[in-house]
Structure 1
Amino acid sequence: MVVMCSVGGTDFEFEREEIEVERYKCNDCGNTFDAMGEKVVCPSCRSENVVKA
């Protein structure tokens, strides 16, 4: 979902990129979760020791 707010009546355009959400598994606590981005962190234990599931 994209939420945008504009005040002042200024027109603007933007290109929307497709963002891929991928499934990851934490090697420290075993949690599996969905995430996106370059630096993925486990939401349960905050470890960066994660791999794509």
Structure 2
Amino acid sequence: MCSVGGPTDIDLPEDRVVAKNYRCKECGERFKGIGKHPMCPSCQSEDVVEI
């Protein structure tokens, strides 16, 4: 699967991958994310903080 330009919806086994809670500094959206560079699903900003 190839994905360019946005987040994807995938199911991952919870026992192997832990999603962290983030808040976007640009728009205030709260979301769960994984990876080294999580992106806000609302505004696509990478300016996020772990909460």
The TM-score with structure 1 as length reference comes to 0.65
Deviation beyond 3 Å, 4+ runs, structure 1 = none
CA-atom RMSD, angstroms?
1.7
Task: Tell me the amino acid that sits aligned with residue 17 of structure 2.
Answer: I
Q: Percent identity?
A: 36
Instruction: Determine if the alignment matches structure 1 residue 29 to structure 2 residue 27.
Output: yes
Q: Structure 1: which 5+ runs fail to align? A: 3-16
User: Whose Rg is larger?
Assistant: 1
Q: Size of the alignment, in residue pairs?
A: 39
Local SS of the residue matching 1:34: strand
